[in-house]
Amino acid sequence: MDPEQRKHEVADGVLAEKINHLRDRLYPDPADRPGYAKLAARIREQTGKPMSATYLWELASGRKRNITQDTLATLAEFFGVPPEYFLDDVVTSRVDAQLELVTALRNQKVRSIALRAEGLSDDTLDALLVMVTEARRIERLGPSADTARREPDESG
Amino acid sequence: MDPEQRKHEVADGVLAEKINHLRDRLYPDPADRPGYAKLAARIREQTGKPMSATYLWELASGRKRNITQDTLATLAEFFGVPPEYFLDDVVTSRVDAQLELVTALRNQKVRSIALRAEGLSDDTLDALLVMVTEARRIERLGPSADTARREPDESG
DNA sequence: AAGACCCATCCGCTCAAGCGGACGGTTGCT
DNA sequence: AGCAACCGTCCGCTTGAGCGGATGGGTCTT
């Protein structure tokens, strides 16, 4: 199975899967693997922050999922993962889309052009768009990643 | 609490600052800047998730700080930043560098121009820079935020 | 067979996350 | 002057995150 599709269907219970996965990885031997009571006790000892066995089970079984920043930080600290580990979901794709733009804007002159284009009239922007597209053709560059995309928002 | 051994001390206390910073970046013009009531309404419209004006103010003023994953995702989605922005300082500063551009790039056409300008030769970029600057003068727009800045990066 | 543990699961409570509605102050329009 | 709209701020309420303390069932010793 491809791991890209499952993040859509089980987007609700991902947190539970991640906690169980981290517990299994931290205690590979099922014989030595502690239950939620002992695990919560160890989290309390190691991090100094509160953590109850009941709530830990509720999280691991998917009954509760909307955790606060404090709880998230506690789990991340104990399992030795960055806090972002627990919240990478469908938003990741949107970040990727932004990264594409960030790559283009690494050039200082491209940045300047973008900044100075802000606020210009629609007609002027269209004219500039024609120019830059034509310049691309002249310099024998392939079409930009933008040409294929169609985003129907941005009221203005 | 225990203010002794926290590694992300800044990330804890300054959620309020981050929210205010993001609001100021998204609405650079103080005259057009909405209050918490209108801002919350826009968050609701744009994300489809609930968000009250009172709670938004409580967050921005530092009265509440331990937000849940849902609220965090709502804010991140609206402000166009990765959710880690509110957790990690490193991510915060890295994203902040881009936010100024994101403000300008809300316009779809400006985005397209920036994407297509990538890879063009230096001479062509200079020519485009002249054109867009001239267009600004013709349309009676003030100088962009970029014109005053001198950044000594991008050696090549 | 009974005591001592540990397990997953459940019930019910506390308290803060989150919200609705109001208050007084300021700006601007008529 | 009045009204309308918006602002930041406060109060009190509901809801759910998070927890303490049962419960019953399994697996060891003795």
State mean pLDDT over B34-60. Answer: 95
How distant, in Å, are the alpha carbons of B13, B32, B61, B135 from that of B57? 15, 18, 6, 40
Number of H helices, E strands in chain A: 8, 0
B124 Cβ under 8 Å from any chain A Cβ: yes
Mutate to test the interface with A, among B26, B47, B128 (most CBs of A within 10 A): B128
pLDDT band at A40 (very low <50, low <70, confident <90, very high): very high
Per-residue pLDDT, B11: 33
* Angle at B18 (CA atoms; ends B27, B109), nearest 5 degrees: 35
Chain B 59..78 CB hits on strand D (< 7 A): 61, 66, 68
B67 Cβ under 8 Å from any chain A Cβ: yes
* The domain defined by B9-92 carries CATH number 1.10.3720.10: no
Q: Which helix (H) or strand (E) holds A138?
A: helix A122-138
Please tell me which of the candidates A113, A153, A156 has its beta carbon nearest to residue B117.
A113
State mean pLDDT over B140-151. Answer: 54
Q: Is the CB of B50 under 7 A from strand D?
A: no
The mean-pLDDT minimum among A70-84, A86-100, B50-64, B67-81 falls in A86-100
pLDDT band at B153 (very low <50, low <70, confident <90, very high): very low
Nearest C-alpha neighbor of A69 from the set A83, A89, A49: A83
Per-residue pLDDT, A27: 86
User: Residue ranges per domain, chain A?
Assistant: 6-86, 91-138
The mean-pLDDT minimum among A13-17, A46-50, B25-29 falls in A13-17
* The domain defined by A6-86 carries CATH number 2.40.110.10: no
Question: Minimal Cα–Cα distance from A33 to chain B, Å?
Answer: 29
Q: Do A95 and B82 touch (CB under 8 A)?
A: yes
What type of residue sits at position A97?
A
pLDDT band at B44 (very low <50, low <70, confident <90, very high): very high
**How many angstroms separate the CA atoms of B66 and B133, rounded?**
46
pLDDT band at B51 (very low <50, low <70, confident <90, very high): very high
State mean pLDDT over B133-151. Answer: 65
Residue B38 has which token pair?
């209108």
Per-residue pLDDT, B106: 58
Please, are residues A63 and A36 in contact by the beta-carbon 8 Å criterion?
no
Per-residue pLDDT, A128: 86
* Angle at B106 (CA atoms; ends B105, B111), nearest 5 degrees: 40
Per-residue pLDDT, B101: 57
Per-residue pLDDT, B119: 73
Please report the residues numbered 5 through 24 in chain B whose beta carbons come closer than 8 angstroms to any beta carbon of chain A. Answer: 5, 8
Q: Calculate the average pLDDT of chain B.
A: 75
Is the pLDDT confidence value at B30 over 90?
no
Residues of B with CB below 8 A from A101's CB? 105, 111, 114-115
Per-residue pLDDT, A106: 57
**How many angstroms separate the CA atoms of B121 and B135, rounded?**
21
Per-residue pLDDT, A43: 94
Please tell me which of the candidates A82, A87, A131 has its beta carbon nearest to residue B83.
A87
Helix (H, G, I), strand (E, B) or coil at B58: helix
pLDDT band at B59 (very low <50, low <70, confident <90, very high): very high
Q: What spatial distance separates the first Cα and last Cα of chain A, rounded to whole Å?
A: 42
Mutate to test the interface with B, among A99, A128, A140 (most CBs of B within 10 A): A128
